Amino acid sequence: MKTGGLQSVGRRREGRFLVRAIIVLFVLGAVLSGCGAEPVAEDERPLVVTTFTVLEDLAARVAGEHLRVVTLAPVGAEIHEWELNPRNFVDLENASLVLYNGYNIEQWMGQARSTAASDVPFVPVAEETGAEPLPIILGDFEGDPDPHLWMNPRIAVQYLEVIRNAFIELDPENTAAYERNTDEAIAELEDLYSELEDTLAVIPDERRVMITSEAAFLYFAEAFDLEHEGIWGTNHEEEGAPDQIKRVIDLVRDSGVGVVFYESTISDRHVRAVAEDTGATVAGPLYVDSVSEPDGEAPDYPAMLRHNARLLAEHLGR
């Protein structure tokens, strides 16, 4: 074996040792902090690990009471470049199933795979839907599949179906419950689609343009007959470069829309830079990569899309 290969193997072994050491320290700390407390009954339900809160919400709707569903990236986290923490390592070690979006939005999935047991299924939900991905429209990754398929509620229905199938394979004894829960969730999303159409109908044709920080709303825009532009194409690339800002300043002036939106998981400073040069209104946040806290304005997937539609209608429907 070449020296470089030996060094690579050594680094992988050191990485696995470090992960195990972090997990041991985390668990030990939890045990010590719980000394003297009342014992808590262990939850013996299979553990389903999801990668971000939107996927967690969809999975929980299908799981009902039969599975325990958690997320790696919490509320408000930037999913594209999330760094696994000790709690994540513990969850992955105990996972029976891992659901992730796919299309390279979770660039850290290699580390997640190396932490979970080798026989744990990893399901790329978006890729398994069979829905045709739209291309990223600008920037360093232009032309690559845009991963935000869940922003179209009709594609989210297909997410639910993929999740249902994964749960039935994991836990066939509760097949009827997963099918029933999925049917109920699908009916809710079908009603939601019609509701969003009605909400957005107040926006006149000449103002049906949404300009955001990340161009992450392509599927939402396609579903509801909107045009969409962003300062950058994806959060994987450089954000707020001078040429990106200048392009959107020109776009805002040419479109005459007069409003720019920011998202909940990133700073609003770049859209404010555009607003300072154009006099545009800054509005937000829109939700895409995360829901809000439970007591917030977008605590679950349907509420997230309702909030986005109302905000767009309020500022573009004038």
User: Checking DSSP bridges between strand 68-71 and strand 47-50, what pairing results, if any?
Assistant: parallel
Tokens for 307, please give them: 């909030």
* Distance separating alpha carbons of residues 158 and 257, to the nearest angstrom: 34
* Distance separating alpha carbons of residues 31 and 28, to the nearest angstrom: 5
Taking only the tens of pLDDT, the chain with its 318 residues reads 433 433 333 343 344 445 454 554 554 454 444 445 555 568 899 999 999 999 999 999 999 999 999 999 999 999 998 999 999 999 999 999 999 999 999 999 999 999 999 999 999 999 999 999 999 988 888 999 999 999 999 999 999 999 999 999 999 999 999 999 999 999 999 999 999 999 999 999 999 999 999 999 999 999 999 999 999 878 665 667 888 899 999 999 998 899 999 999 999 999 999 999 999 999 999 999 999 999 999 999 999 999 999 999 999 997
* Backbone φ, ψ for residue 223 (5° rounding): -65, -30
Strand partners, 71: 50
Q: DSSP code of 160? A: H
User: Residues 6 or more apart from 111 whose CB is under 8 A from it?
Assistant: 84
Q: What is the pLDDT of residue 236?
A: 62
Nearest Cα neighbor of 215 from 169, 192, 248 is 248
For 42, 73, 91, 121, 122, the CA distances from 87, given in Å and listed in that order, are 17, 11, 6, 20, 19
Per CATH, which fold does 200-316 belong to?
A: Rossmann fold (3.40.50)
Q: Are 289 and 52 in contact (CB under 8 A)?
A: yes
User: Residues 6 or more apart from 301 whose CB is under 8 A from it?
Assistant: 54, 57, 58, 150, 156, 291
**Distance of alpha carbon 284 from its chain centroid, rounded?**
18
* Distance separating alpha carbons of residues 27 and 31, to the nearest angstrom: 6
Q: Do domains 47-196 and 200-316 have the same CATH topology?
A: yes
Domain ranges for the chain, please list them: 1-35, 47-196, 200-316
Strand partners, 98: 49, 122
The reported pTM is 0.87
Nearest Cα neighbor of 167 from 78, 97, 219, 270 is 97
* Backbone φ, ψ for residue 141 (5° rounding): -110, 20
Query: Which CATH number describes the domain made up of 47-196?
Result: 3.40.50.1980
